[in-house]
């Protein structure tokens, strides 16, 4: 799990963030509200096996995104939870890094 602080943006809502991510990743990944996941706001989905769960975290003096690489289909989540955690980390490392890099460089989050 990673946390990327972007400064203080109290005006940033989950809906705004989803729109920004959708615009950037259009045609490459799906950006979906996080169903069945009370601690996550949305998911950036490459396929059933690869995705990133994202939570917008507003603090009194800063705003951040919490990221966690994860399978996106229920059957894939169950299967990866039955395997070694290292396999799961290897599968999600690339997309998590890509999302993190976008957050760190996006003009909308400066």
Domains located in the chain, CATH noted: 2-109 (3.30.310)
Write the DSSP symbol of residue 14: H
Q: What is the mean pLDDT of residues 85-95?
A: 67
pLDDT of residue 48: 73
CA dihedral (57, 62, 67, 72) positive or negative: positive
Pairing of strands 51-58, 63-69: antiparallel
Q: Judge whether 34 and 88 are in contact, CB under 8 Å.
A: no
pLDDT of residue 76: 54
Q: What is the mean pLDDT of residues 89-107?
A: 88
Element containing residue 53 per DSSP (H, E): strand 51-58
Q: What is the mean pLDDT of residues 101-110?
A: 96
Is the model more confident about 110 or about 1? 110
Q: pTM for the complete prediction? A: 0.83
Residue 102 confidence (pLDDT) above 80: yes
Instruction: Go through the chain and tell me how many residues it has.
Output: 110
Ranges 13-17, 39-43, 56-60, 91-95: which has the least confidence? 91-95
């Amino acid at each position: 799990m990673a946390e990327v602080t972007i400064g203080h943006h109290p005006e940033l809502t989950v809906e705004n963030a989803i729109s920004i991510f959708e615009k950037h990743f259009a045609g490459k990944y799906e950006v979906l509200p996080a169903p069945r996941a009370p601690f996550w706001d949305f998911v950036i989905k490459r396929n059933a096996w690869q995705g990133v769960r994202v939570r917008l975290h507003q603090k009194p003096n800063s705003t951040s995104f919490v990221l966690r690489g994860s399978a996106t289909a229920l059957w894939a989540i169950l299967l990866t939870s039955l395997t070694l955690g290292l396999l799961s980390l290897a599968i999600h490392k690339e997309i998590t890094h890509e999302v993190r890099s976008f957050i760190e460089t996006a003009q909308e989050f400066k």
